[in-house]
A and B are shown apart, each in its own frame.
Chain A
């Protein structure tokens, strides 16, 4: 069953278009660094005053870009939101559910494939940034400004720099990839839950995107107490930058992963409970 689901996704153009859309940001950043006269990303969420120092800077700047998150939310909502609803729209769901395979198993497999594709989307963007960056600027150590945390916000001390070896930076980039993937879990689970309820794939995708958008907007409303905003699934999105703090600080990174868990459990439970007893009329 896992194999058929993977086959189904691997034979379609949409999977590749979605994954390719994730390649846009690293390419833009790479071209910028390559051709700009004075490339400077001091104002970027990942501050890189000297981006030509190492090829490893490309994926870091690219993944920290808010637009990249925007694209990633859409891609996640597409993978999860169409997962079940599309089968209903095609009329194939009734044939899958009249096979001697349990509904819970079907959902588990579909959710796993959607999660895998989301992680793959993140990984592809990172790997492309790495390949392009290393090809033109080499595999060197990275010096970044010193980060600090005040009132729940990262602050940057441009005067002081910390240097990380190429190997250490690569390890941090792997951690970043996993963290960004995990940060999408709540949106993934929400889109998937909607997907089990509707017959219109676009509806589930829109709902998933709206969920991510609502969380981002509310998180930006400073009137809402920080204690509440910290429960929003998008609050810790950019906190992987903390991995480059010196001394190393991982509190927010861990919180960013932990905050996803209740969302996944609740939406996953709702999806399973609803779908297990759903009357299939599509």
Chain B
């Protein structure tokens, strides 16, 4: 295994220009394994205790520093991107189509050579076919199979391609993976007869076979119906609960919001913001109230303190309220006291707004003459697909 021979510059020099400041990442900074107090001290600007070799190798599942990929045709797919994924996190990589998510993930897996920067995975510097890959479960882009072989044969081929015997596989792990794939008798049919969803589920099963410490999933719900998407989310949460780190890329916001503890938004190859999902969304809270009497509700909201703004749903089914200091329960109470029937009251999904704000800002900047090549992007492209089905967003 290739050990780190040279630490990234920000490890030894926290003032390194490539280091993204705490305020930007929102991460707990580099966990030194020391007490909380130390971290707090760093939060207010002091440099962290000198990181040892073991700290870097130990704490991070994925560590990327200044990753850059410029293709031969000049296209800058990823531009000076730095990422820190701590062990145990379920980390979402969010961005519109063509933002550089797949290129980033492929660089992390050694499939694409960065033209700049470095990346470490589970403590080893990443290079093509690195031994550390045996501890990583992968689903990149979509699942790929030898079409004329059965699903079971394909799993076996994949397992044996690393020089391991099929008989050495842990039966419990195999059963678990196969149960998730849920292919039943279809498992012994040729893969070319499988639907996209079946292939994708089998791909996830394959990613679990080597009992990964890190699971890297690139658009794992591609081609799945809403029920299967739910199953994938449940799986991610389940493996996350067992301590496996998950790095998940998606352009579907609800996916990231529902399963991830942390996320990074990238667009046009650059990191825009990174932190916990809550931090990305921001402090302002927004709620949706399904009410029978819009007019009375509006009158109430106009005089109630702690209401920032509100918006009536286009179909007049309810009101979306931006609150500032007043709880959802208090608003419900006031509404009911005014004789309004409140059918439902739920927090309004805000990652979408935060995300669109972040992505749109950058798009605007680059239009003013940045070197980053403009990428085809439309706001619709990120909330399209079946993800919208299980979202309660009023537009």
Q: Which of A4, A97, A103, A277 contacts B157 (CB 8 A)?
A: A4
A97 to B141, CA, bound (A): 14
Q: Which of B111, B142, B148 contacts A11 (CB 8 A)?
A: B148
A276 to B134, CA, bound (A): 19
**CB closest chain-B residue, reference A7:** B157
Count of residues in B whose CB is under 8 Å from the partner chain:
34
CB of A100 within 8 A of CB of B112, answer no
Chain B 283-302 near chain A by CB (<8 Å), digits 1 or 0: 00000000000000000000
CB of A90 within 8 A of CB of B146, answer yes
Chain B 116-140 near chain A by CB (<8 Å), digits 1 or 0: 0000000000001111111010101
* Interface CB pairs A-B, < 8 A, 12: A7-B160, A13-B148, A90-B145, A91-B142, A94-B106, A95-B144, A95-B158, A100-B129, A100-B131, A100-B132, A102-B129, A280-B111
Within 8 A of B (CB), among A253-282: 276-277, 279-281
Q: Which of A94, A101, A279 contacts B162 (CB 8 A)?
A: A101
**CB closest chain-B residue, reference A276:** B128
Q: Which of A12, A94, A102 contacts B111 (CB 8 A)?
A: A94
Q: Other than the known A95-B144, A99-B134, what 20 A-B pairs have Cβ atoms closer than 8 Å?
A: A8-B146, A90-B145, A91-B141, A94-B106, A94-B140, A94-B141, A94-B144, A95-B158, A95-B206, A96-B161, A98-B133, A98-B136, A99-B133, A100-B133, A101-B129, A101-B161, A101-B162, A276-B128, A277-B113, A281-B106
> Smallest CB–CB gap between B350 and chain A, Å?
35
CB of B148 within 8 A of CB of A98, answer no
Most chain A CB within 10 A, of B142, B146, B162, is at B146
CB of B106 within 8 A of CB of A97, answer no
A98 in contact with B144 given A4-B161, A11-B149, A279-B113 (CB within 8 Å): no
CB of A280 within 8 A of CB of B131, answer no
In the complex, number of A-B residue pairs with CB atoms less than 8 Å apart: 89
A103 in contact with B128 given A98-B133, A281-B106 (CB within 8 Å): yes
Q: Which of B142, B163, B206 contacts A101 (CB 8 A)?
A: B163
Chain A residue numbers with a CB within 8 Å of B153 are 11
CB of B144 within 8 A of CB of A281, answer no
> Smallest CB–CB gap between A161 and chain B, Å?
51
**CB closest chain-A residue, reference B158:** A95
| Interface flag for A151 (CB, 8 Å) | no
CB of B144 within 8 A of CB of A92, answer yes
A101 to B164, CA, bound (A): 11
CB of B147 within 8 A of CB of A100, answer no
A111 to B112, CA, bound (A): 23
| Interface flag for A248 (CB, 8 Å) | no
| Interface flag for A1 (CB, 8 Å) | yes
> Smallest CB–CB gap between B65 and chain A, Å?
20
The 6 closest A-B pairs by CB, nearest first: A91-B144, A280-B111, A92-B144, A99-B162, A279-B112, A100-B131
| Interface flag for B62 (CB, 8 Å) | no
A238 to B146, CA, bound (A): 38
> Smallest CB–CB gap between A1 and chain B, Å?
6
